[in-house]
Amino acid sequence: MAVKIRLKRLGKMRAPYYRIVVADSRTKRDGRVIEEIGLYHPTENPSRIEVDGERAQYWLGVGAQPTEQVAAILKLTGDWGKFQGDENAVSTVQQPEAKVAFVADEKKATVLKPKAEKKAEPVAEEPAAPADDAAADEATADADAETKGE
């Protein structure tokens, strides 16, 4: 069976993205595949390229033929050089810069007024009420003790 490493097109019109796949050379471009080994998003800046190097090396080793586009991608990732025997082959794929967290301008920020705080008195009364109940319980207990003692 003739095996090729090629691109499988996904996405919508004018917004393509591709998966790097291993497939029988007789199948359709977007048909059944043997294995997916990576992805390629050309519309992102810089282009997003991810390849499972170990699986790419395996398929190249067993005789899979890459298409021209995939060969160019493998050269960028350094996998083609490793397959050819160059141990110093490195990836030249550009990585996107880390996004900076959004910081709002303090001068332009809208001023939000805090909601009026609830008065502390009702909160203070609630804890005091159980204390009053405890004092009342003690008073009734003392009264009961006096009646029993008589």
- Pairing state of beta strands 3-12 and 65-66? parallel
Task: Quote the pLDDT of residue 129.
Answer: 54
CB of 18 closer than 8 Å to CB of 9: yes
Task: Quote the pLDDT of residue 113.
Answer: 64
Please state, in angstroms and rounded to a whole number, the distance separating the CA atoms of residues 89 and 80. 8
Task: Quote the pLDDT of residue 133.
Answer: 62
Task: Quote the pLDDT of residue 78.
Answer: 87
Alpha carbon 125 to chain centroid, angstroms:
50
Task: Quote the pLDDT of residue 33.
Answer: 86
Task: Quote the pLDDT of residue 110.
Answer: 67
Please state, in angstroms and rounded to a whole number, the distance separating the CA atoms of residues 81 and 104. 47
Task: Quote the pLDDT of residue 39.
Answer: 92
Task: Quote the pLDDT of residue 9.
Answer: 92
- At residue 42's C-alpha, the angle toward residues 4 and 2, to 5°, is 5
What residues of the chain score a pLDDT lower than 50?
none
